[in-house]
Structure formats: C-alpha cells, structure tokens
Amino acid sequence: MIVPSETLLLLIDIQGKLAQSVCQPELVERNIQKLIRACGILDVPVLYTEQYPKGLGATVAPLKELLGDLEPVEKITFSCCAAESFMKQLRLFNRNDILVAGMETHVCVYQTSVELLEFGYNVHLVTDAVSSRTPENRDIGIRCIEKAGGSLTSTEMAIFELLRIAEGERFKVISKIVKE
C-alpha cells in the first residue's frame, strides 16, 4: 500500500515533440494532470524530468502550468537515475514509494524503473499514464517493469489508495478530479 508520507510522483519526459508522437497522448496527459492535482491535495511531492529539451522541447504546457514553480531535472541519459542531479533531488525527498508516469515506456520509463528497483525503491508504474510511440513498445515496457519487480497501478487506483478514506473535503475534491 502506498501512503502520502512515503510516496513521490515521478514524471518522466512528457515533452512537446515526444508527447505528440505517443499512443493515446490525450488520455495519458489527462491522467497525468489528475495525478498532479491529486498529489497536490495529498501532499505528495512531484519530481519531473526532461530529456534533452533543446531537441524534444519543454514539458507540455498544461502540465507545466500545473507544476507551477517546480523546475525539471534536465538529462541526456535514458534512465533518470544515471543523471547525478536527479539522484540528488530524489534522495532529498526521502520517499521510498515512487509512482512512475511518463514517456517512453520501453526506454526512459523502463530504464529508470529498473534502476530505481535496484536502488531499493518501490516502483508503482501508473499504466494508464505511460506511453510509447507504438502500443507494442508500451506493452513490453510495462511487462518488463513488472517482471523486474515493479507494481502496476492505474491513475484512479493510485489516487484512491493514497486517499484511503471516502469522506471529508479532500475526498470531495479528489472525486471531482477523478471523474473529469
């Protein structure tokens, strides 16, 4: 079970050119928006990366807007963990459960997830918030992450697992987010 005090949301490379070329880009972006908004309400920190932004562009505008003043960790490595600046920031949060979303499932998301697992983190792959340019690559990335020891979840499942209780103001707000 994931709990807010132990969880971090990691968003990998949801950038202009790349975000437009993956399967079901609108669905993935909408689910990531839900995750960002719910994590803000539940005090779950967010860390996000950009792969070679000069070439792939910046994080898509609707997500960047929700992320506010947060700055991306820029990288050129496929695995976020291979970027020293990423690992420094990740360790500062002192969270063991990592909700992973982003692009592309079979490259950066896969390599990051496997390395996080090797470092002892619990990886929770949000399967409806990841994508690749082909459905086959998305699916094999998911299967390989699960085989490596990652847990599979969905946007709604993760949000309600973090929330835990169906009452109060936070439940009302999060219910509206989930239904959008």
- Nearest residue to 8 via CA among 105, 126, 177: 126
Residue 147 is a catalytic residue: no
Annotated active-site residue in 39, 80, 81, 108: 108
Are the C-beta atoms of 75 and 86 separated by less than 8 Å? yes
Residue 75 is a catalytic residue: yes
Helix (H, G, I), strand (E, B) or coil at 39: helix
**Phi-psi group of 60: left, alpha or beta (phi > 0 → left; psi -120 to 50 → alpha; rest → beta):** beta
DSSP secondary structure letter of residue 120: T
Annotated active-site residue in 34, 75, 80, 128: 75
Annotated active-site residue in 13, 80, 81, 97: 13
Give me 163's structure tokens.
Answer: 């929330």
Give me 160's structure tokens.
Answer: 């309600």
- Give catalytic residues, as residue numbers: 13, 75, 108
